[in-house]
Amino acid sequence: MPELPEVETVARDLRPHLVGATIAGARCSWARTLRTHAPDAFAAALAGRAIEGVGRRAKLVVVELSGGVALTIHLKMTGGLFVVPADAAQDPYVRLVLELADGRELRFRDIRKFGRVGLYPRDAATGELVTEPGGAAVFAGHGPEPLEEAFTLQAFRGRLRSRTGRLKPLLLDQAFIAGVGNIYADEALWAARLHPLRSAATLRRPDERRLHEAIRSILAEAVERRGSSIDDYTAPDGDGQMQERLNVYQRTGEPCPRCGRPIRRVVIGARATHFCSWCQRLSAADRTAARRILATMTGGTPRPTDRTKRAAATRRAAARAAMTGPAAAGMATAPGTAAPAGIAR
């Protein structure tokens, strides 16, 4: 599932293509894609609104519209966003289309249908997106943005103080920090030399410092490299490169880049977790408490599927071809330009 760097890349790619455009209407072929409205009401609520901004909060794309409302788009497992001319061929996996007044369309393609789109008002007083006027904040359950300046070491320490669980599930908890998922949790813990099953309550001050630094530096690098194109993730202007820089994620059995011993894999809360059992040590007490989880550990040999998942671009290529035809490399075509904008970058 796309995490902070991937969703940030999607938002940045979409921004120049969408800001300034006006929405003329909407077509929805899978009603459950819409979190807040029935398809007809959704189309009526959007018609005539201008797109004023495209940003991100946590793992959601946020599209700011005129009239004090915004769309939230959660890509989930297989969601992708593409800006194409209205006459471009449309494949059956497109669940939602925003028709733009200039003859283009923003299409939400989602093979597995887990993606969700909501339309919410912005509270005039607080500036927060709310479920309804005077209602609860849409992002109330989300923790701080790890790349924002306010996410200081001191703030991180303050949030850790009340926590007693294990580090891997804690980093995945969106209420603790927003935007971190399986890929960057594993990478941050490896960089900080902290075992994913270590209990947060046992962290010493240097451990906290290394983890804070690792989370921020890895996410920042991943944003710079346009995210990790693993499984179905691709962005409007093309794949990311961060998958080549990952040290442990989906590298089970390959040598640890730091010590050369094989990367291990355990399943923690149904999530595959990758780490080096030499560089990321666990205390005897934590080891005893986690012995059932550690019994799932593998890593003597590489998992062939890991490499395939990391490298295979078949489904992403299919997504692009479905949108633009096999000859086109770029997805987003700006009005009045002959070549797809993705090529001209």
Q: Which residues are catalytic?
A: 2-3, 59, 271
Quickly list DSSP for 44-101: HHHTTPBEEEEEEETTEEEEEETTTEEEEEE-TTTEEEEEEETTS---TTEEEEEEET
CB of 30 to Zn ion, least distance (A): 45
Rounded to whole angstroms, the Cα distance separating 9 from 62 reads 12
Cβ closer to Zn ion: 62 or 279?
A: 279
Q: How far apart are the first and last CA of the chain?
A: 26
CB of 256 to Zn ion, least distance (A): 3
Cβ closer to Zn ion: 259 or 285?
A: 259
Task: List beta partners, residue 129.
Answer: 122
Q: Where are the alpha helices (DSSP H) in 193-283?
A: 205-224
Largest alpha-carbon pair distance within the chain? Answer: 65
CB of 230 to Zn ion, least distance (A): 22
Interacting residues with Zn ion (CB under 5 A): 256, 258-259, 276, 278-279
Rounded to whole angstroms, the Cα distance separating 319 from 80 reads 8
Strands 69-74 and 60-65: what pairing? Answer: antiparallel
* Residues whose CB is less than 8 angstroms from the CB of residue 334 and which lie 6 or more positions away in sequence, other chains included: 16, 17, 341
Cβ closer to Zn ion: 71 or 276?
A: 276
Cβ closer to Zn ion: 281 or 291?
A: 281
CB of 285 to Zn ion, least distance (A): 22
CB of 262 to Zn ion, least distance (A): 9
Q: Where are the alpha helices (DSSP H) in the chain?
A: 4-18, 39-46, 153-161, 167-172, 182-191, 205-224, 284-289, 291-294, 304-311, 314-324, 341-344
Cβ closer to Zn ion: 18 or 276?
A: 276
DSSP-assigned letter for residue 324: H
